[in-house]
Structure 1
Amino acid sequence: MGGLAVARPDPDSGPREREVIAAFADITTEAITATRLEDLLALVGQKLCHLLGVGRCSVYMRQDDGRFRGAAGWCGDDGNISAAVQAQEAGIPGDAFSREVIRSGAPVLISDVRNDPRPHRRTMEHWGVRAMLGVPLVFDGDVIGLIFVDNVAREHEYTDDEVALGELFGGLAALVVRQALQAARLAAQAEELDRQKRMLEFLADVHAKLTGAVLEGADIRAVVELLSDLAGAPVALLDEDFAVMTWTAPSALRAGPPSVGERARDRPALRTALADLSAARPSTVLEPSSLTGLGRRHVVCRLIVEGRPSGYLAVVEAGRALGDLDTKLAERGATVLALQVLSERRQIEAEGQARDDFLSDLLNNHRDVTQLARRGLPFGVDLTEPHVLVRLTVESGEGHPHASVARRLVVSDLALRLGTDEPPATTLPGAVVVLVRLGSATPDEVRAHVAAVADALVLRVRIRGGVVSAVCRGPEEFPRAHRELREIEELARSFGWSRRVVTVDELGLFRVVVSSGRVKEAVRFADELVRPVRDHDGADGALLPTWRAFLAAEARVQRAAADLGVHENTVRYRLGRIREITGKDPAALDTLLIARVAFQILELAGWFREAP
């Protein structure tokens, strides 16, 4: 049988119409008292089953996208089957039966499902349907829902009267269902408004607590701890390189540090997700994934300070699922933390400016020495104790960090290696100058620490080289020491030193050459002394290394032989060859002095690195 649109029953069917009206008395009561739309729809389907004498129904409702999704169901044998029906959809490809009911807006009967091509074959077989009646819920000319009834794997012959009753029932049911839908929407809107109101109240309270804490002097770590308490979850603050600056978690959770920081360094998918964050899109939810390497959901917010990215705030799922409220909380927290970062940065800059002014006066002899000694005390600098100056030449400009950032990284790393508080430092064009109190350390030990800093920061700050001054024991000695550092830095630039760190003391007599301003002449002199030996050196190239080892051993043949790993007679033979080539006795005092300076000049000038 096809799509059968049937007229209202004749007057003889009056008693059946009264049954419909009686059924709707129960439905109306349910519509008034029911708290769930699903229960009302299941009752509507159940009443239609009773009217038609069948044992099963399923109800589908039209969604905003026009699709008809399962909403409720009832079966005489199994009771409520809504969960199973809600997994279904009507009108899908292959379901011409449902589409005909929707298109016609009238009941459609299939008397022999197994031999009718219209119904969805797999669905009919799954439910064991033999005959089925589809009844539309029509309101104001639109089909808002569908009711399907059948007799659970048993035959049932639907009469014209029953089809007409179904149509009548569907029209009345549509009115009730429409009202219930409207009521459900209004209730949902009211609930959403109430939820938003409670969320706004909560966020206002969060904002008040966070700003109150900042106004009372809370530092960044204290703000992160407060955020963790409010969220009931671990919270971490990360810098631009995803290093964890500080983190905390409620003690009851026993959570470890967040993994997003270390994962972001080597997970392209994670870095890409975080790269999309901006002032316009301040937060994202990172789901657990093998691509990101995260085992838990993270809400991550971008910190924007003065229009520039300045790190990340992460809230980590632990103990409960994160939701929209956590995202709003994180965004509020990130805003307050950005302001706190800006405040602390301003304070550091102010203190740094005062310290820069002090160091500038100290290095340039712009103040009375007594006044300078007094001004250093607030910065933890006692100029009566031995200090050295460290001058590092750093790359600047596009592609390199700002000078203040380079200074902060250098000072922080150097303090960690020295085991002291961060030393005073200042930035000059192309350089960072650090004032280091020696304590029990020596200039050579400071040089080793500075070289380690240069190596550690090579990927973040390009340090071309550095010089450690002679020991200064009074304010009046610093201007001369710094002037000497500048001269050696200029020399290093002309010689092309690459990331070398030296002490002024190790330059020895070469300092006299530097101060004389006759460096080129000194290099030419040294080259004239040493080049004949290199030109006459044998295939093993042993003469120059032997001469250098002899000088380093302070003209002691036995020690030089041990350093070279050869016999003493071998050293004596090679020294004889050097005497023949140069016409100078390598063991003579004047030759020792001249050769020592010559080798130092050539080494600093990179002469030996160029040798074949």
Structure 2
Amino acid sequence: MRESIVSALPPARPATGPAWSCDGANETGHRERDVIAAFSEVTTEAITATRLEGLLGLLGRKLCHLLGVMRCSVYLRCDDGRFRGAAGYCERDGDISAAVQTQEAGIPGDHFSREVIETAAPVLISDVTSDPRPHHRTMEHWRVRAMLGVPLVFDDEVIGLIFVDNVDQDHVYTGEDVALAELFARLGALFLRQAMLNAHLKRKAAEVVRQKNTLAYLADVHQKLTNAVLDGASIQAVVSLLSELSAKPVVLYNEDFNVLAWSAPPALKMTQPPVLPPRIREMPSVRQTLATLSASRPSAVVPQTLAVGLGRRHLMCRLIIEGQVSGYLGIVEVGRGLEHRDSKLAEHGATVLSLQILSERRQAEAEGQAREDYLSDLLHRTRDAEQLVRRGPQFGVDLSQPHVLVRFSLDSANQSVSVSVGRKLVVEQLARALDVPDPAAVSLPGAVIALVRLPDGAVPEDLRDAVGQVRAAVAPRLRVSTATISAVCRSAEDFPMAHRQLREIDELARSFGWPGGVLTADELGVFRVIAATGRVKEAVHFAHEFIRPLQDGDSDALLDTWRAFVAAQGRVQATAADLGVHENTIRYRLGKIRRLIQRDPSGLDCLLQARLAFQILDLAGW
């Protein structure tokens, strides 16, 4: 049965005398005075100790000395209600706190500790081996023979436990020992509670100081970032400032994790951005973490824990612009570990960069709209020529230089992108194909028209291949039915006429059902004037009748030779070079053509009619 202080102690005396002494019990009074003397040192420790472990260890040592035993272990109640080891002392081994801190009291099977906690009174086990209450595996590990468990009680709540024993030796605890231990524990609980309160207040004070420093730091960050933006700093300059403030590499990604800008402290000597590798981004835990970033959880560390092959940790913050994910800002753990303030810096920096990117987008859209309006004025001549020339340079257009218009006619029934996206695709691909800055372009019903400056000494025909590349490049997303290049425009007055010519050529191509390719206004020549009459069927009939004598022949070589001869403007040498045959072969074939069509194919009139016929057939897809 439990041997409790409740039944072992004599009646309590009034508060003016020792609580557990009897009249004439000099020895008991002397031991109680020892208890009070012991607390003179405990008082100093409670006031000056920065860690509870030191105070708890001192309480355990003093109780051991008072009871004449060798070892003690002290447990402290945690916020979750569990009692975890906090400090320990052994007269033979010294400080054993590290070993005690791996233990927990009151675990399943430890009825001894549970009894101390539930009764809030001392419990004595005189013979551990025969008593069913202790956790025997633990007792065997610590070689305990007899043990006294004493609760540290404050305000009727057990806030800690002290266990004492004599290390592998029997020890007899008298009722007076138990009473003395309880007195000591009650006094100790007062000091412990005060020390816990002091520690809590110190933590609060430290937290207040930390928050104050963080607020001062963030205020400084806000001021520096704001001043940088107001001074016109670029996105790269803002990223560099964030790297300087964090003393770590900073990487700005777009929504597809392509690097937009990055910076690292010079001391790290980095030549490449320390990006978050795709294999790490594809890890389920990382992918889920990035997907759950939101206004309530703006930043997170990925991967959360490092392992072999995972590289560095990245503090990632999502950029949100107009409700859409528009990129990520990452602070990389290199040289120095990630800190709490890094997350605040990243979140603040992401907000500034989001606003800056949005501002640049708005500015680009405004500039794009202004350029589009300017080109529209140029095509329709809604402003006088002098004003158009004067306004041109602000849009990168010098009307004193030769230009052409390039019209991409769209199949409006089969488009999967918006008008603005289609125009952007054309502009980007045209700039890439010609290796020039983005040209001015305007969207019209069923078409995109771009203004392209002709390089020195170039002619519209020289742009055919580049325009064909653009047509092929946009094909997966934008269906272009025809692409046409205007004649050269050398003044503001030329553009409205060139615009009308392109519209006519487009209508002509649609009338003939032209299957595609690139046309130039110059190559159509007289045919465009004749076809403008609208008599398409008659034109096609004329073309077929003109070449019929050669179609009745037994070889396509004559027709190919005639077509090449016309394209070479009636020059035998150029025709031979184009077909890769000898000049005499060309002359022989021309002789056969003369006999079949019964007219001289090199004559000016025949050349003109043949050119017209071949143009009609090309447009008709023959």
Alpha-carbon spacing, 1:519–1:163, altered in 2? closer, same or farther (3 Å): farther
Amino acid at match of 1:367: R
1:303 alignment partner, SS class: strand
In the TM superposition, residue 229 of structure 1 has moved relative to its aligned partner by 0.8
**Deviation larger for 26-35 or 235-244:** 235-244
1:380 aligned onto 2:396 = yes
In the TM superposition, residue 386 of structure 1 has moved relative to its aligned partner by 2.2
Aligned length: 586
Give the structure 1 partner of residue 13 of structure 2: none
1:361 aligned onto 2:377 = yes
Does the 8 Å contact 1:260/1:294 carry over to 2?
no
1:170 aligned onto 2:185 = yes
The structure with the largest alpha-carbon Rg is: 2
2:399 alignment partner, SS class: coil
Match of 2:499 among 446, 457, 482: 482
2:493 alignment partner, SS class: helix
Does the 8 Å contact 2:372/2:442 carry over to 1?
yes
1:475 alignment partner, SS class: coil
In the TM superposition, residue 221 of structure 1 has moved relative to its aligned partner by 1.7
Amino acid at match of 2:355: L
Give the structure 2 partner of residue 199 of structure 1: 214
Q: Deviations over 1:457-505 (max 9, x none)?
A: 778x54646625133333233223334445566788899999x762435
In the TM superposition, residue 553 of structure 1 has moved relative to its aligned partner by 7.7
Match of 2:254 among 239, 248, 256: 239
Match of 1:472 among 486, 489, 499: 489
Q: Deviations over 1:192-241 (max 9, x none)?
A: 11111111111111111111122222222212211111111112222233
Q: Structure 2 matches for 1:102-141, cutoff 5 A? A: 102-114=117-129, 116-141=131-156
In the TM superposition, residue 369 of structure 1 has moved relative to its aligned partner by 2.5
- How far apart in 2 are the matches of 1:96 and 1:268? 44
Give the structure 2 partner of residue 303 of structure 1: 319
Does the 8 Å contact 1:263/1:292 carry over to 2?
no
1:597 aligned onto 2:615 = yes
Root mean square deviation, CA, Å: 4.6
- How far apart in 2 are the matches of 1:71 and 1:238? 47
Match of 1:72 among 61, 83, 87: 87
Does the 8 Å contact 1:135/1:170 carry over to 2?
yes
- How far apart in 2 are the matches of 1:3 and 1:325? 55
- How far apart in 2 are the matches of 1:292 and 1:402? 47
- How far apart in 2 are the matches of 1:390 and 1:147? 91
Q: Deviations over 1:162-181 (max 9, x none)?
A: 33333222222111111111
2:124 alignment partner, SS class: strand
- How far apart in 2 are the matches of 1:455 and 1:272? 38
Q: Deviations over 1:534-592 (max 9, x none)?
A: 9x9xxxxx9889966984586999879869xxxx99xx9xxx9x9xxxx9899976896
Alpha-carbon spacing, 1:274–1:488, altered in 2? closer, same or farther (3 Å): farther
Give the structure 2 partner of residue 142 of structure 1: 157
In the TM superposition, residue 245 of structure 1 has moved relative to its aligned partner by 1.4
1:181 aligned onto 2:196 = yes
In the TM superposition, residue 390 of structure 1 has moved relative to its aligned partner by 3.3
Give the structure 2 partner of residue 58 of structure 1: 73
In the TM superposition, residue 436 of structure 1 has moved relative to its aligned partner by 1.9
Alpha-carbon spacing, 1:5–1:269, altered in 2? closer, same or farther (3 Å): same
5+ unaligned residues in a row in structure 1: which ranges? 537-541, 608-612
- How far apart in 2 are the matches of 1:168 and 1:494? 111
1:44 aligned onto 2:73 = no
Give the structure 2 partner of residue 313 of structure 1: 329
Give the structure 2 partner of residue 29 of structure 1: 44
Q: Structure 2 matches for 1:82-97, cutoff 5 A? A: 82-97=97-112
Alpha-carbon spacing, 1:3–1:560, altered in 2? closer, same or farther (3 Å): farther
Q: Deviations over 1:412-442 (max 9, x none)?
A: 5543553333332334456543322221566
Alpha-carbon spacing, 1:26–1:389, altered in 2? closer, same or farther (3 Å): same
- How far apart in 2 are the matches of 1:395 and 1:122? 84
Amino acid at match of 2:615: V
Match of 1:253 among 259, 268, 277: 268
Q: Deviations over 1:305-361 (max 9, x none)?
A: 344443322222221111221111111112222222233333333333332221111
- How far apart in 2 are the matches of 1:389 and 1:69? 82
In the TM superposition, residue 39 of structure 1 has moved relative to its aligned partner by 1.2
Alpha-carbon spacing, 1:375–1:170, altered in 2? closer, same or farther (3 Å): same
Alpha-carbon spacing, 1:490–1:115, altered in 2? closer, same or farther (3 Å): farther
Alpha-carbon spacing, 1:161–1:228, altered in 2? closer, same or farther (3 Å): same
**Deviation larger for 51-60 or 321-330:** 51-60
- How far apart in 2 are the matches of 1:201 and 1:301? 22
State the TM-score, normalized to the length of structure 2.
0.78
**Deviation larger for 414-423 or 181-190:** 414-423
In the TM superposition, residue 24 of structure 1 has moved relative to its aligned partner by 1.8
1:502 aligned onto 2:518 = yes
In the TM superposition, residue 31 of structure 1 has moved relative to its aligned partner by 0.2
Does the 8 Å contact 1:526/1:602 carry over to 2?
no
Does the 8 Å contact 2:280/2:310 carry over to 1?
no
- How far apart in 2 are the matches of 1:299 and 1:214? 23
Give the structure 2 partner of residue 224 of structure 1: 239
Match of 1:439 among 455, 460, 463: 455
Does the 8 Å contact 2:484/2:506 carry over to 1?
no
Amino acid at match of 1:481: A
- How far apart in 1 are the matches of 2:293 and 2:164? 52
- How far apart in 2 are the matches of 1:494 and 1:8? 117
In the TM superposition, residue 191 of structure 1 has moved relative to its aligned partner by 1.0
**Deviation larger for 159-168 or 142-151:** 159-168
- How far apart in 2 are the matches of 1:106 and 1:491? 106
Match of 1:338 among 323, 332, 354: 354
- How far apart in 1 are the matches of 2:506 and 2:133? 90
- How far apart in 1 are the matches of 2:383 and 2:471? 32
- How far apart in 1 are the matches of 2:169 and 2:599? 118
Alpha-carbon spacing, 1:455–1:551, altered in 2? closer, same or farther (3 Å): closer
Alpha-carbon spacing, 1:69–1:389, altered in 2? closer, same or farther (3 Å): farther
Does the 8 Å contact 1:3/1:109 carry over to 2?
yes
Does the 8 Å contact 2:467/2:518 carry over to 1?
no
- How far apart in 2 are the matches of 1:281 and 1:175? 42
Amino acid at match of 1:211: T
In the TM superposition, residue 61 of structure 1 has moved relative to its aligned partner by 1.8
Alpha-carbon spacing, 1:190–1:291, altered in 2? closer, same or farther (3 Å): closer
In the TM superposition, residue 188 of structure 1 has moved relative to its aligned partner by 0.8
Give the structure 1 partner of residue 16 of structure 2: none
State the TM-score, normalized to the length of structure 1.
0.79
Amino acid at match of 1:257: P
Does the 8 Å contact 1:302/1:334 carry over to 2?
yes
Alpha-carbon spacing, 1:221–1:373, altered in 2? closer, same or farther (3 Å): same
Alpha-carbon spacing, 1:434–1:97, altered in 2? closer, same or farther (3 Å): farther
Does the 8 Å contact 2:152/2:158 carry over to 1?
yes
1:282 aligned onto 2:302 = no
Amino acid at match of 1:478: F
1:260 alignment partner, SS class: coil
- How far apart in 2 are the matches of 1:136 and 1:332? 50
**Deviation larger for 269-278 or 355-364:** 269-278
Alpha-carbon spacing, 1:261–1:369, altered in 2? closer, same or farther (3 Å): farther
**Deviation larger for 353-362 or 423-432:** 423-432
